[in-house]
Structure 1
Amino acid sequence: MKTRFEPRPSESTPLRAWTGPLTKELLQRPAEFGLGNLPTTRQPDAVTEAICGYCATGCSLKLHLKNGEAINLSADSEYPVNIGMACPKGWEALSPLEADDRATRPLIRNSSGELSPASWDEALKYFVRTFKDIGEQYGTDSLAWLSTGQIPSEEMAYLGALCKFGIGMIHGDGNTRQCMATSVAAYKESFGFDAPPYTYADFEESDVIILTGSNLCITHPIMWQRVMRNKRNPKIIVIDPRRTETAMAATQHLPLQPKSDLVLFYGIARLLIEHNWVDQAYVDANVKGYQALKQFLLEGPYDLPTVARCSGLEETDLFDLARTIGSGRRVSLWWTMGVNQSYEGTRVAQSIINIALLTGNIGKPGTGANSITGQCNAMGSRLFSNSTNLLGGHLFTNETHRIKVANTLGIPVDVIPDQNSWAYDQIIDGIEAGKIKALWVVATNGAHSWIHQNRFRKIRKKLDCLVVQDMYHTTETAEIADLVLPAAGWGEKEGTFINSERRIGRIRKVRRAPGEALADFHIFQLIAHYWGCGDLFKEWKTPEDVFKILTRLSKGQPCDISGIENYAMIEKAGGIQWPLRDIKDYARERRLFEDGKFHHADQRARLVFEAPRTMPEAPDNEYPFMLLTGRGTSSQWHTQTRTGKSAVLKKLYPQGVYLELNPSDAEKLKVKADDTVTIESRRGRITAKAYLTGSVSPGQVFLPMHYAMVNQLTHNSVDSYSRQPSYKACAVNVFSAKQNIP
C-alpha cells in the first residue's frame, strides 16, 4: 500500500488554518456537537432506553431523566433479551460515571516524568507530531493500536478506518482477542463465517443444555435466568474442572481434568458414531468431512477407557453423556472462556461444533453450537473494528473485497492494506523486538489484563510513545502512558452494540461527560483533522451517519444489515439480529442455518479436527498445582476499572485477592481459612487469603481474574489459530506464611 504523510504544520500555524472547519467548530462550539460538560437534548423529565455497557448479554435498561440527565434506571420489561431483569452491574451502571478519578483533561508526561494537564490543542499536536515523526523514521508498520469490545460499533469503525486508511497503520487489534478470538476462528473454519447461530430463546427451548467452561450463573446471570424459564424440565450438564455456582445448580456436573476437554469431546463423538446416534441424513445433506473424522476417531486413542483415564471422569458418565446427546430432541451446546482461553481452544470449540453437526442440532429451536460472548460489543468489534478483518467481515487479502469497501466509502483502494494485521500477542512481541515504536490504546487496560503481566510492563519501556484513551486516568495502563486522552463513557455518547445473539441495540447519551472529556467518536474526528486526512471521513459526521455507512458495507455479506434504515428502526423493533437484508425478513427472534446452508462455497459445514497438543506448562515437582482463573462474582467486571467505582458493587465481593484451595491440600500445607498464602509461578509471585472449598479438586487452585496482580502468574502462551491467550491453566506452587519460601 502507499504511505502518505501530510505536511506537518509548524507550531506557529494558526489552528483554523490546518485543522479544518469541523475541528474548529468542535473546539469552539462544542455544545452543538454533544461534547463533554454539556447538556443533553433529552426532555427535562422523561424515560428512555439504552443497552447496558457491560457484558454481551445486551440487556436494555430504562433510564429515568431529570433536567435532561439520567438520575436512575430500571430494567426494561419489554426488551426480548432481559425481559425486565438486570444483574448487579446493570443496576449500578450509572455509578462509575461519578468516579473521582475520571479523566477530565488531556495529560502529557513532562520533562520531570509526571503527567501534567494540557489543552486539547496541545494534546492533539503532540499525538500527530510524535506519531508522524516515528512513522517517518521507522515506517508506518512501527505504529500500532489496541482497541476494545467496550465502545460502540460506530466508534470502532471510525478508529479502524482512521488508523488503516488515514494514518496508514497496518497493525491493530482489540482486547476481544482475549475473549472471543477462538470462537471467531472456529466458526470461520467450520461455518465459513463468524456466525453464532442461536437466539436466547434457545435457552428456553432445549431439553438438553450442555455448558462447557462456562459459569453462566456468575458470568451472564440474565442468560441463566433464561435457562430457569425453560418449561421443558431440561437436563443441564456442566462440564468444568471447578464445582462452580452453575455446576451446583445443574442436574449434572462433570469435573473433568483441566485441558482434557478436546479428548473428552472426541471420545463423545466416537461414541455417537459407534452407537448410531449420528443424524446421518443431516450429515449427508449438509456436512463435509464425516468419513475423515470417523477414521480419525476410530483409529485414535479416543476409546471409552482411554478418554475416562485422560479426563478423570467415570466411563458410565461419559457413556450417559453421549447417549443423552444422541437421544435428545433439542440439544444445545454452549461454551465461553473456559474453552476460548486455551492453547488449543479453537479445536476444542470445533469439537463441540462437530457434535452439534453430527447430531443435526443446528438451526432448530433449542439447539446449536453456541459461543457466549464476553464484552458488550465484542461482536461489533469482530465485524466492524477493521482489525482482524476488513470492515463488514471482509478480507484485507481479497482484492474484490478491498475494491468493494473502497467504492462504498468513496476512498482510494490503495489506502486499504492488502495484508492482515498482527494479533495482540504479535504486537506485544513486536514491541519487545523494537519493531513497534508507538502504541495507541483505546478503552482497554493491558497493563492489568494481558498474560505474563510483568513482561508487558517491562517491554512498555521500549516504546517511544504510549497513548492511552480512557474514561479514567488511574488505570494501570494510563499511569504508564506518555499521553492520556480523556474519553466519555457509556451513557455519555451515542451508538450501537451487537450482543451474543447478534442483536443490534442502541446506546444513548443521557449524561454530560465531566470536564473536557469527549466521546471517542469526536476524539477520532479531531485526530483525523489534525492529521490531515479529514477529507476521507467527510460523511462520518455523526454516529448514525457511520451506522448507515456500516449497513452499506455489510451488503452481500453473511452479516448483511442493509435492511436496517436507521436508529429509530432498531428502537422500534426492540433490537434487530443480523442478518437483515429486507424488512420482510424481520422477526423478533431469529436463528441461523435453518435451511442447512452454511457460508462455504458449497454451502456445507466442515467437521474440523486435529490431534490434541501437549499442555504448554503442566504441574511438576517444583510447581505441583494447576492454577485456574476466571470470573469471581457477578458484581465484578474484568479489571474492575468500572465496577471498582461502585460502593454497592464493592460490598458484594472481597476487596482483597483470595485463593480457592481444596481442604485436603490446605491440610498438607498447614494452611487454615483466611491465612495469607503465597502463590508462585515461573513468572511471578503474589500473596492472597486462603479460601478453603471443595469447589476445586485436590491439586488445583483458583484465582479470580479481576485482581491486578493475578496476571503476574499466567503463562505466555496462545492458541496457534486464534492467537487467544491461554489464561486458564498454568503450573504454580503454594506456600503458607509459616513456610520458608525459597
Structure 2
Amino acid sequence: MPTFPARAEVKSTCPYCGTGCGVSVRVDGDRTTVVGDDAHPTNAGRLCVKGSALGETVVPDGRLLYPQIRDANGLLQRHHWDETLDHVATRLTQLIEQHGRESVAWYVSGQLLTEDYYVANKLVKGFVGTANIDTNSRLCMSSAVAGHKRAFGEDIVPVAYDDLERADLIVLVGSNTAWCHPILFQRIVREKERRPDMKLVVIDPRRTATTEMADLHLPLRAGSDVALFNGLLSYLNQHGVIDAAFVEHRTHGSREALAAADASGAQLADVAATCGVDASLIAEFYRLFAIHERVVSCFSMGVNQSSSGTDKVNAIINCHLLTGRIGKPGAGPFSLTGQPNAMGGREVGGLSNMLAAHMELDSPSDRDAVQTFWRSPMIADQPGLKAVDLFDAIDQGRIKAVWIIATNPVVSLPDADKVKRALSRCELVIVSDVIEKTDTTAFAHVLLPALGWGEKDGTVTNSERCISRQRPFVEPLGEARADWWMLSQVAQRWGYAEQFAYRNAAEIFDEHARLSGWRNDGRRYFDISGLAGMDAERYDALQPLRWPQPAHGDAAAQQQAFADGRYFHDDGRARFITTAPRPPVNALSDEYPLALNTGRVRDHWHTMTRTGLAPTLAAHIAEPFVDLHAHDALTCGVADGSLARVTTRWGRLVARVRISGEMPRGTLFVPIHWSAQYASDARVGALVNPFVDPVSGEPEFKHTPARVEPFIVTWHGFALARSARPMETSTWWTRITGAQFVRYELAGRDTDTDWPSLARAALGAAADADWLEYEDRSAGTYRGALIVDDRIEACLFISKRADLPSRAWLSGLFAKDRLSEPDRIGLLVGEPLEPTDDQGPTVCSCYGIGRNRIVDGIRRQGLHTVQALGETLRCGTNCGSCVPELKVLLAQNRGLASDPVLPSI
C-alpha cells in the first residue's frame, strides 16, 4: 500500500452518479478520508454511502500501472510510453491509409473529465476526420438528449435542484431515486417533511425503495409511458388546464400532438388497460398534475432505456409545454443524469452525432465554425456510428481499430457476448483504463494506464448544469497518465503539435470555454465564455457554478432556462412532438414468457471496478440476484435463496433467487454490476436484447423476453480468506470484498469431491499447518480452517443444503488478533459457542447497522419510528438510502417484542 504525506484538505467532486456531490478529502499515510463538502451547493455536506466509502477505493489493488503491448505470442509486455505511443500512432495511421478514416473508432465514457472528453472529440472529429466516437452515455442519457433537442432546439435541462424544493408536486418516472440519486431523494424527503402537503408520485413497474416514500405509486406496464402521458395531455386539454397564451406564442405543434394523443386512446379506461394500472390510480395522478401549478417531472433510465425512449421523453415534455409549466421556479421536466460527467460529455459533443459546444454535425455553418476555431485540416461531415452499431461494425470487420477509454463494454453493452466476439476479431484494440484486468482489457492489444479518481485534474458537470472541479490529492500510481495527455501525444505524432500543445487541464478548459462563445451571439444557450482566460491558479480555485456563464450579460439572470420564453429552434419557439404508444420491440412468448428488467442496486456502481474494492459497499447486497414475483417463482420451480438460470435469445446467467415483493407478475429484475472479476456467470448485458430507439440509438435495457429455471447443484459453500484464493474452479461462484478478507460464495455439481485435499490445496495449508477440520461424508458436510499465529487465515464451509453458518459471525473472527478456544471449537461445530453480536445482513451501510440489530431495537427497545431508530442506532441519519428499508422492518416487527431475532446468512 503506497503512503502519502499528510496534506491539507482538498475539495473535489464525487465520481459516481450525475448528482455531482462535493467532497472534502484528507490523506494521511495510507489512509484516505472522504466526507461531504459543506460548502457545495448540491449536497451541503451530505454523502450517500458510495461517496462516504470512496476512501476505501483509493488503493493500488488491481491498478494498471504501465503501458503494455501484446506480443506475437499473445502476451502483454511492458513498454515505455514513447514506444507505446509510437506504436499506437503508427498502427492507426496504417489502418487509416489501408481502409479509410471510417475504419477506426473511439468508444469513451461519462466517467471522463470534460477536458479529456474535449480532446478526444477534437482529435477524432477534427483531425482524424470521422465522427466514429461514441460514449457509454449513449446507453443511459441519449434519449433525453434527443428529446430535448426535438422540443427545445438544444440539449438543455431546464430544471435545477432547488426546483425540487420549490415544487408542490414531484413526479418520478422510471427512477429509483432513493437508490440511484440518494442525495437528491433526501432533499425531496426533507422538503416533504417540512411541507406535508407537497405530493410525490412515483411511476415505476417495480415497488422500489423510492415508492415506499410516495403518496401515489403507478406500477405501469413496461413500455407504456407514452400512453400514460398522452392520456395526461388529453386530460389536461379536456379540462382546460392550458396556458393558452404560452402555447400560442411560444410553441408549435400543439394541435398535432393533441390529435395524436386523442387518437392513441384518450379515455381513462383505454389508458388503464394499456398501462396495466387501475384507472382510479391514473385518475388521481392526472388530478394531481392538473391542480398543482409547480410540477417537476423527473425521469431517468426507466424512460430513456427503451426502443421508444425519445418519444417517452417528449410525451412528458409535451405536458409541461401545454400547461406552460416550464421556465418557472419549481416547474419543468428534469432529466436525472446517470454518470458523473454525462452532461460534460454532451457539452463537448461526446455523442457521435454531435459537435462540440452544442453545435450540430449536420449544420454546414457549425462545422465551419468548429473547424475554423480548431484550425483543423478537416471536419467530420456525417454522423458516426452509435454505440451498438459501432460494435456491430467491429464484428462485421468494417471497423479495424477501436480505442476504448474508461469503460467496460464487454459487461455494459447489450448482447455483450457479441461485443466479446467483435473485439476478439478486431485488428487493433487499444484500452485506456485504471484497472488492469477487466472483461474488456482481456481483448486489448495495447493497454494504457490512466489516472484514477484522486489523481485526475479537471471538471465535471452534473444533472443541473453545475460545473465542479475534480482535484488531485494523491500522486499517480506507476506511470499512469491523463487521458487527454495520451490523445494529445498521438496527435503530436501525427504532426498536430501546435493544436495539441496542452500543458495542463486548465489550458484545455480555457479552449473549451472560448469555443462555447465562438460565433454564438446568443444562438446557443450553452455558453461558458465568461470562464475563459483563467490561468492555472484561478482554474484550480474555480468554485461550483451553473452554466450559462457568458462573457457578456448577467449570468445569474440567465440561470432559469426559458424564463424569457425563448427556445433554440430558429424561430425561438418550443416544439410539441407527436408521439404514439408502441410496445417494446420483442414480445413475450411461450419460450420466453417473462420480461427482464435491469438496473442498479444501492451500493454498487457500473461494473464494480471501483465499488468492488470497498468492503462497506459489498455488505448490503453481496451477490448477483434475480428478483421475481412469488407466483412466477413457483411457476418456474425456483425458491427464494436458491440458484436459478436466466436465459434469453442472446445469453444466459446464474444468480441467486430473490422474492422481494417488489416485482409485478410476468417480470424479473437483474442488476447490471457483476463482471467476470466478481462472479462466474452474472453478466446481465449478455442477455439484453440489442434493439435501440430509432432516434437516440439507446438500447432497450428494460424489456428483454426471458425465462427462469432452476440451476441444480449438489452442494453449497463459502470460503473466507485474507487474500484471494483459487476458488473460481467451482461450478458457480461470487467474489465479495470484506474487511480484512475476501469471501467466495460457492456451489457445484460434482458428487464425489475429496474436500479435505481440495480445501488444504485451495486455502494453502501445508502438511504441518495449524489446521482445523470436520467432515461428515454421509451428511455432505465439511468445515476446514487454517490458523496462522493464532489468527484465522482462511476457512471453507460446505453442505448439501444452502443453510450454512452465519457469514457475519465468521467475518467477525477475521477482526480478532487471536482466536480463543471457544472460537476454534465454533469453527468445527459451525456456530459460535459464545454470544456474538451477529447484526445480520447490512441495512445501513453508512454505519454498518444490520437487520438483526434493527429488529432487536424495534422489538426489545421499543424503537417504533425511523427517528427513534436513528437517534439510538444512527441508521438512516446520513444519506438516508436505508430509510425505506427501515420503514419495512418497522411495519413487519412492531408488536413482536418477545420474538427472537432469527440468525442470518
The answer to whether TM tops 0.5 is yes
Letter of the 1:666 partner, please give it.
A
Q: Is the 8 A contact 2:506 2:539 kept in 1?
A: no
Q: Does residue 1:608 correspond to 2:577, yes or no?
A: yes
* 1:630 correspondence with 2:599: yes
Q: Deviations over 1:1-29 (max 9, x none)?
A: xxxxxxxxxxxxxxxxxxxxxxxxxxxxx
Q: Is the 8 A contact 2:223 2:583 kept in 1?
A: no
Q: Distance in 1 between matches of 2:130 and 2:446?
A: 19
Residues 359-387 of structure 1 show CA distances to partners (whole Å, capped at 9, x for unaligned) of 22111111111111111110111111454
Q: Is the 8 A contact 1:206 1:367 kept in 2?
A: yes
**Alpha-carbon deviation of 1:70?**
8.0
Worse overlay, 281-290 or 484-493: 281-290
**One-letter code aligned to 2:626:** L
Distance 2:325 2:181 in 1: 23
- Is the contact between residue 361 and residue 381 of structure 2 (CA under 8 Å) also seen in structure 1? yes
Gaps of 5+ in 2: 676-682, 714-905
The one-letter code sitting in structure 1 at the alignment partner of 2:612 is G
Determine if contact 1:208/1:328 at 8 Å carries over to the other structure. Answer: yes
The answer for the alignment partner of 1:22 in structure 2 is none
- Deviation at 1:169? 3.7
SS at match of 2:702: coil
Structure 1 window deviating more from structure 2 (241-250 vs 94-103): it is 94-103
Q: Distance in 2 between matches of 1:177 and 1:506?
A: 24
Indicate the residue corresponding to 1:558 in structure 2.
525
Shift of 1:160: 1.4
Contact 1:258 1:729 in 2 (8 A): yes
Q: Distance in 1 between matches of 2:195 and 2:556?
A: 23
For residue 101 of structure 2, the aligned residue among 140, 144, 162 is: 140
Q: Which residue of 2 aligns with 1:214?
A: 175
Q: Secondary structure of the equivalent of 1:141?
A: helix
User: C-alpha distance in 1, partners of 2:557/2:208?
Assistant: 33
Aligned Cα RMSD in Å?
Answer: 2.1
When the two structures are aligned, how many residues end up with a matched partner? 695
How big is the shift at 1:44?
Answer: 5.6
Could you tell me how far apart the structure 2 residues matched to 1:584 and 1:138 are? Answer: 49
- Match in the other structure for 1:396: 361
Matched residue, 1:24: none
Q: Is the 8 A contact 2:179 2:209 kept in 1?
A: yes
Alignment of 1:673-712 (within 5 A): 673-708=640-675, 709-712=683-686
After superposition, what is the alpha-carbon deviation per residue over 1:672-714, rounded to whole angstroms, capped at 9, x for unaligned? 2111111111111211111112100111111111123111111
Alignment match of 2:279 (pick from 278, 299, 315): 315
Corresponding letter in the other structure for 2:644: V
In 1: Cα distance, 2:246 partner to 2:104 partner = 49
1:570 offset after TM fit, Å?
Answer: 7.2
Paired with 2:130 and 2:369, the residues of 1 have a C-alpha distance of 20
Q: Can you list the C-alpha shifts for 1:480-520, whole angstroms capped at 9, x where unaligned?
A: 11111001112102111011000011111111111111121
Q: CA deviation at 1:725?
A: 0.9
The worse-fitting range, judged by mean Cα deviation, of 434-443 and 109-118 is 109-118
* TM-score normalised according to structure 1 size: 0.90
| Alpha-carbon distance in 1 for matches of 2:427, 2:540 | 45
Asked if residue 59 in structure 1 is aligned to residue 21 in structure 2, the reply is yes
Are the structure 2 counterparts of residues 570 and 652 from structure 1 closer, same or farther at C-alpha, using a change threshold of 3 Å? farther
TM-score w.r.t. the length of structure 2 is: 0.74
1:144–1:436 Cα contact (<8 Å) kept: yes
Give per-residue Cα distances to partners, 1:432-475, cap 9 Å, x unaligned.
22210000000011011000111111122221010000001111
Q: Which moved more, 1:228-237 or 1:688-697?
A: 228-237
For 1:506-537, what per-residue CA distance to the aligned partner results, in whole angstroms no more than 9, with x for missing partners? 11111111111112122223222233322222
The answer (yes or no) to whether the contact 1:287–1:606 under 8 Å persists in 2 is yes
Contact 2:107 2:403 in 1 (8 A): yes
For 1:724, the equivalent position in structure 2 comes to 698
Q: Report if the CA contact (8 A) 1:559-1:578 is conserved.
A: yes
Within the candidate set 605, 621, 626, 2:590 is matched to 621
Does residue 104 (structure 1) correspond to residue 104 (structure 2)? The answer is no
Match of 2:303 among 336, 339, 342: 339
CA distance in 2, matches of 1:316, 1:436: 53
CA distance in 1, matches of 2:701, 2:188: 27
Q: How far has the Cα of 1:121 moved from its partner?
A: 2.2
Quickly say closer, same or farther: Cα 1:568–1:536, change in 2 above 3 A: closer
Q: Which residue of 2 aligns with 1:505?
A: 468
Measure how far apart 1:552 and its partner are.
1.0
Deviation at 1:578, TM superposition (A): 0.9
Asked if structure 1 preserves the Cα contact closer than 8 Å seen for 2:593 and 2:705, the reply is yes
Corresponding residue to 2:421 among 450, 454, 458:
458
Distance 1:465 1:572, change over 3 A: closer
Separation in 1 of the partners of 2:74 and 2:418?
21
The answer to whether residue 478 in structure 2 is matched with residue 515 in structure 1 is: yes
- Asked if residue 350 in structure 1 is aligned to residue 317 in structure 2, the reply is no
Distance of aligned partners of 1:224 and 1:285 in 2 relative to their CA distance in 1, 3 Å threshold: same
* Residue matched to 1:649: 617
The structure-2 alpha-carbon separation of the partners of 1:503 and 1:588, relative to structure 1 and needing over 3 Å to count, comes to: farther
Per-residue CA distance 1:622-666 (angstroms, 9 max, x = gap): 111111111112x10011111111122122322x21111111222
Equivalent position SS for 2:54 = coil
1:120–1:616 CA distance, 2 compared to 1 (3 A): same
| The structure with more radius of gyration | 2
1:219–1:292 CA distance, 2 compared to 1 (3 A): same
Q: Name the SS for the 1:581 alignment partner.
A: coil
1:66 and 1:223 map into 2 onto residues whose CA distance is 31
- CA drift at 1:92: 2.2
Kindly provide the amino acid, as one letter, of the partner of residue 552 in structure 1: R
Aligned partner of residue 8 in structure 2, secondary structure: strand
Compared CA separation, residues 48 and 721, structure 1 to 2 (3 A)? same
Query: Which one scores higher on RCO, CA 8 angstroms, separation ≥ 6?
Result: 1
- The match for 2:829 is none
Query: Which amino acid is 1:632 matched to?
Result: V
- Partner of 1:94: helix, strand, or coil? helix
- 1:496 has 2:459 as partner: yes
Tell me the residue number matched to 2:566: 597
AA partner of residue 64 (structure 1): R
Q: Do 1:109 and 1:116's aligned partners in 2 also have CA atoms closer than 8 Å?
A: yes
Matches within 5 A, 1:353-432: 353-386=317-350, 387-409=352-374, 411-412=375-376, 414-432=377-395
Residues of 2 paired with 1:71 and 1:734: CA distance? 43
8 Å contact 2:528–2:549 — kept in the other structure? yes
**CA offset at residue 281 of structure 1?**
2.6
List per-residue Cα deviations over 1:183-223 (Å, max 9, x = no partner): 00000010010000011001111110000000000000011
Q: 1:737 to 1:490 in 2, by over 3 A?
A: closer
Counterpart among 610, 617, 626 of residue 659 in structure 1: 626
1:65, distance to aligned residue in structure 2 (A) = 4.2
Letter in 1 for 2:174: G
Q: How far did residue 66 of structure 1 move?
A: 4.4
Q: Distance in 2 between matches of 1:299 and 1:158?
A: 47
Shift of 1:419: 1.8
Q: What is the Cα deviation at residue 572 of structure 1?
A: 6.4
